[in-house]
Amino acid sequence: MIEGVSLFEILSLTTVLFFVGIYGFLTRTNLIAMLMSLELMVNAEAINFVAINKYLSPAVLQGQIFSLFIIALAAAETALALAIILHLYRLTENIDVKEVEELKY
Amino acid sequence: MNLDSLLLMRDELLLTLIILVLLVAEIIMSPKNKKYIIQLALGLFGLYTIISFMPIPKGSLFGGSYQTYPLVHYFKAILATGVFLILLQSVDWIKEKLLPYDFSAEFFILLFASLLGLNFMMSAGDFLMFYLGLELSTMPIIALTTFEFWNHRSIEAGVKYVMLASLSSAILLFGVSLVYATAGSINFDVIKGALHLPLLEIIGLIMIFIGIGFKISLVPFHFWAADVYEGAPTVISNYLSVISKGAAVYVLMTLLFITFTAFQKEWNWIMYGTAILTMVVGNLFALRQQNMKRFLAFSSIAQAGFILLAMLSNNALGVKAIVYFLLIYIFSNVAAFGVVHVISLKTGKENIDDYNGLYITNPKLSLVLMIALFSLAGIPPVAGFFAKFFLYAAAASKGYYVLIFIAVLNVTISLYYYLLPVRAAFLRRSDKAIPYFKSDNYSRLAFIITMIGLLVLGLYSGVFEFISHISNIL
């Protein structure tokens, strides 16, 4: 628990962070920038779990364990996405989603 | 905790063991013996499928984060059967495309890891296990989507899938954190009893629904489905449309019926709107497809809309209707995708027009295609009719007659497009018809099993009685 900072302020921060991530994901066309926006969202959730655990139910450490798993899985997901993006770059020399698209309606 | 209680998770332990055996076999086998990995994996997984039908008592492990009961256990066995059928169909593809690159062991390991994740997801007793299972099931499948890495379409499908899957799981996690804030716990049992801040919890529920709806490909979240199904290897499209969708439907059902049952009034409206949207959009887009894989993708989106009919009921009839429908759906979709897979592998043709005159050159294959599509459409002698009938009955038990009327209208539309490939195969003539070819024994065995399943499950009522006997989970 941080002195002088309420749960409301922390949750406001993480909500803003989350929606900045969604905005970035929807507006960027560069795959790496989209991946960074995803990271923002996942980090917002990790903070969320820790803060809620600390302020609302400090007796059981469920939320902190959860955020550890979130960090690990986010790293795995990023590694997988980067591998695929790298392969796409080798094939097309481009990672802009608007220009590499072949599959359409 | 002793060994007996650990045996409650026998399915998962056996699957882990198979994965480890394959990993070791991949290391110690000499390069010229690598082709026997296929037989080894098929044999081990066949054994696992048979063992998974043996009963397991009800129980829970690890402080309630792993739960098992007869319905979820037999549903795992059904999924294992589906995966086994897909493996049988994929043998010739592995021999032709993956063995030269020495990737066959990785294919099996990743596929089994994904099934392991689905098993954990369905048995989860809290959100942590649920989330870990979800990720464990998604990530190997993303890697498998890009397995034809010399093909631009496969890579593009992989990029689309990995981006949208990560987005949906991020949204799901935010929903989980909101539910955690209101209930103070991530255990399903605690959440069920703790309803302090309804509004926040409903927002969380909607976000969780978005995350699972992405996996089921319900309509506002369906944009990835057609592209990924078309670009991915057909075996993986088959797995995505059948196994992963079936498990996600099961999880959505248990979450809504058991954990969030107090909010039934609220989620009923979400389900109502999503069901109509999913059926209409899936059907209308399926009408205009030429590529068979895209066509089956939109047809599977429309089928997900029909499943939501029974989600509205929230009673035991709904549970058994959903499980029975998924059982039939697995058999019919595996058969339909299998025909597309065999033809696409032998000739490279995937369009509906290419199927003109198929009956003259390959009569047995076109019969399989016809029965599978009739079952998906719901034409009486085949099992699909009874599955749809129980879905309607479940919705009617709560009086949603308008929705059933809309669903019946949609079935009429779907009859048109399901009959298009059948018409092409049986009634059209073509000079450039697909020449006669012999498919290998494994895929023949898979076709025979699916055909027996489709005909027997529809006529023999014992299976439905057994499902209704074990489906008292509410």
User: What does the pLDDT look like over B288-329, one tens digit per residue?
Assistant: 888 899 999 999 999 999 999 888 888 888 898 999 999 999
End-to-end CA distance of chain B: 27
Residue B222 and residue B301 in contact, taking contact as beta carbons nearer than 8 Å: yes
Residue of A nearest to B136 (CA): A73
Q: Could B139 and A25 be called an inter-chain contact, meaning their C-beta atoms sit closer than 8 Å?
A: no
The shortest CB-CB distance from B180 to any of A42, A52, A81 is to: A52
User: What pLDDT does residue B99 have?
Assistant: 81
Which residues of chain A does B128 touch, with a Cβ-Cβ cutoff of 8 Å? Answer: 62, 65-66, 69
Does pLDDT of B3 surpass 80?
Answer: no
Lowest pLDDT segment from A11-20, A74-83, B34-43: B34-43
B101, B149, B174, B201, best to mutate vs chain A, most A CBs in 10 Å? B174
Does pLDDT of B29 surpass 90?
Answer: no
Buried b (16+ CB within 10 A) or exposed e, B11-49: bbebbeebbeebeebbeeeeeeebeebbebbbebbeebb
Q: In 3D, which of B326, B307, B284, B313 has the Cα closest to residue B399? A: B313
Residue of B nearest to A37 (CA): B167
Which residues of chain B does A76 touch, with a Cβ-Cβ cutoff of 8 Å? Answer: 135, 139
Quick one: pLDDT band at residue B17, thresholds 50, 70, 90? very high
Q: Would you list the domain boundaries of chain B? A: 3-470
Helix, strand, coil percent content, chain B, rounded in steps of 5: 80, 0, 15
Beta strands in B347-467 (DSSP E): none
Give strand pairing partners of B187.
B126
Interface size between A and B, measured as CB pairs under 8 A? 106
Q: Could B135 and A85 be called an inter-chain contact, meaning their C-beta atoms sit closer than 8 Å?
A: no
Which residues of chain B does A86 touch, with a Cβ-Cβ cutoff of 8 Å? Answer: none
User: What pLDDT does residue B468 have?
Assistant: 82
Rounded to whole angstroms, the Cα distance separating B19 from B45 reads: 10
Q: Mean pLDDT score of chain B, rounded to an integer?
A: 89
Residue of B nearest to A91 (CA): B152
Which residues of chain B does A13 touch, with a Cβ-Cβ cutoff of 8 Å? Answer: none
Which residues of chain B does A104 touch, with a Cβ-Cβ cutoff of 8 Å? Answer: 227
Which residues of chain B does A80 touch, with a Cβ-Cβ cutoff of 8 Å? Answer: 139, 142-143, 162
User: What pLDDT does residue A105 have?
Assistant: 58
Q: Could A60 and B185 be called an inter-chain contact, meaning their C-beta atoms sit closer than 8 Å?
A: yes
Q: Could B155 and A91 be called an inter-chain contact, meaning their C-beta atoms sit closer than 8 Å?
A: yes
Q: In 3D, which of B258, B289, B240 has the Cα closest to residue B86? A: B240
User: What does the pLDDT look like over A46-71, one tens digit per residue?
Assistant: 999 999 999 988 888 889 999 999 99
User: What pLDDT does residue A2 have?
Assistant: 75
User: What pLDDT does residue A37 have?
Assistant: 94
Which residues of chain A does B135 touch, with a Cβ-Cβ cutoff of 8 Å? Answer: 73, 76-77
DSSP A100: S
Quick one: pLDDT band at residue B107, thresholds 50, 70, 90? very high
CA distance to partner chain A, nearest, from residue B62 (Å):
14
Instruction: Give me the half-sphere count of Cα atoms (radius 13 Å) on the Cβ side of residue B39.
Output: 5
User: What does the pLDDT look like over B196-235, one tens digit per residue?
Assistant: 677 888 899 999 999 999 999 998 888 899 899 999 999 9
Quick one: pLDDT band at residue B32, thresholds 50, 70, 90? confident
Mean pLDDT along residues B45-57: 91
Domain A7-92 class in CATH = mainly alpha
Phi and psi torsions of B67, nearest 5°: -125, 145
Q: Could A21 and B153 be called an inter-chain contact, meaning their C-beta atoms sit closer than 8 Å?
A: no
Quick one: pLDDT band at residue B72, thresholds 50, 70, 90? very high
User: What does the pLDDT look like over B125-169, one tens digit per residue?
Assistant: 999 999 999 999 999 999 999 988 888 889 999 999 999 999 999
Rounded to whole angstroms, the Cα distance separating B299 from B282 reads: 6
Does pLDDT of A42 surpass 70?
Answer: yes
Residue B322 and residue B70 in contact, taking contact as beta carbons nearer than 8 Å: no
CA distance to partner chain B, nearest, from residue A4 (Å):
20
Q: Could B166 and A57 be called an inter-chain contact, meaning their C-beta atoms sit closer than 8 Å?
A: no
Q: What is the number of H-type helices and E-type strands within chain A?
A: 3, 0
Does pLDDT of B64 surpass 80?
Answer: yes
User: What pLDDT does residue A83 have?
Assistant: 93
Residue B209, SS3? Answer: helix
Here the ipTM equals: 0.95
Residue B308 and residue B245 in contact, taking contact as beta carbons nearer than 8 Å: no
User: What pLDDT does residue B140 have?
Assistant: 94
CA distance to partner chain B, nearest, from residue A8 (Å):
12
Does pLDDT of B189 surpass 80?
Answer: yes
User: What pLDDT does residue B151 have?
Assistant: 86
Residue B69, SS3? Answer: coil
Buried b (16+ CB within 10 A) or exposed e, B270-303: bbbebbbbbbbbbbebbeebebbbbbbbbbbbbb
Q: Which residue has the tokens 């059902």?
A: B253
Helix (H) or strand (E) holding B60: strand B59-61
Rounded to whole angstroms, the Cα distance separating A17 from B359 reads: 58
User: What pLDDT does residue A81 have?
Assistant: 94
Buried b (16+ CB within 10 A) or exposed e, A42-74: bbbbbbbbbbbbbbebeeeebbeebbeebeebb
Rounded to whole angstroms, the Cα distance separating B98 from A40 reads: 37
Select the more confidently predicted residue: A22 or A93.
A22
Rounded to whole angstroms, the Cα distance separating B280 from A82 reads: 36
Q: Which residue has the tokens 């499928």?
A: B49
Q: Would you list the domain boundaries of chain A? A: 7-92
Residue A29 and residue A98 in contact, taking contact as beta carbons nearer than 8 Å: yes
Question: How would you classify the pairing of strands B66-68 and B59-61?
Answer: antiparallel
Q: Could A49 and B177 be called an inter-chain contact, meaning their C-beta atoms sit closer than 8 Å?
A: yes
Mean pLDDT along residues B419-429: 87
Which residues of chain A does B162 touch, with a Cβ-Cβ cutoff of 8 Å? Answer: 77, 80-81, 84
Does pLDDT of B195 surpass 80?
Answer: no
Instruction: Count Cβ atoms within 10 A of the Cβ of residue B10 and give its class: 0-12 exposed, 13-18 middle, 19 or more buried.
Output: middle
| B428 φψ region: left (φ > 0), alpha (ψ -120 to 50), beta (else) | beta
Q: How many CB atoms lie within 10 A of CB B197?
A: 14
User: What pLDDT does residue B44 have?
Assistant: 94
User: What does the pLDDT look like over B328-380, one tens digit per residue?
Assistant: 999 999 999 999 999 988 888 888 888 888 888 888 889 999 999 999 988 88
CA distance to partner chain A, nearest, from residue B221 (Å):
14
Rounded to whole angstroms, the Cα distance separating A49 from A52 reads: 5
Q: Could B143 and A52 be called an inter-chain contact, meaning their C-beta atoms sit closer than 8 Å?
A: no
Phi and psi torsions of A9, nearest 5°: -65, -40
